[in-house]
Amino acid sequence: MSLLVVVGVTSIGLTFSGALILLEAERKNNFFWALERLKELFMRVDAHPRVIVSDRDIALMNAITVVFSEVANVLCCFYIDKNVKAKCKMIVHPKESRDQVMEAWGFVVDCDDLVQFKHRVEAF
């Protein structure tokens, strides 16, 4: 069985455990069921998530799109960095150059606003 872990973040940056949901399998219908139960809980306590951060599990992302259609669904930075690093490892040689590219990538994603991000992307 798979475990779906739901963690929340308050407006002051504190995290809390939201739910632990056992799934028979990581399929869209299982995620759909779990997210529907989660939505019911949110409605009971009059809570409304604004953003859902997930890994790149397509079944989960599709279920989020259906159940929480009004909520932004974004990918976790950890998984994005992991994918960038794997791709960089395949196409950038030698290792020292990879380190420079990854450092430049970190500089791009660590921005305070959209204007700064656009400038850093152009420089990258």
- Give the whole-number percent of the chain exceeding pLDDT 70: 100
Cβ neighbour number for residue 5 with a 10 Å cutoff: 9
Q: Is 51 a residue whose pLDDT tops 90?
A: yes
Query: Rounded CA gap, 83 and 99, in Å?
Result: 15
**Domain layout of the chain by residue ranges:** 2-75, 77-123
CA distance 31 to 59: 7
Residues facing 5 on adjacent strands: 20
d(CA 92, CA 65): 35
Please answer whether residues 50 and 30 qualify as being in contact, where contact means their C-beta atoms are separated by less than 8 angstroms: no
pLDDT at 60: 95
Quick one: pLDDT at residue 11? Answer: 86
Per-residue pLDDT, 3: 94
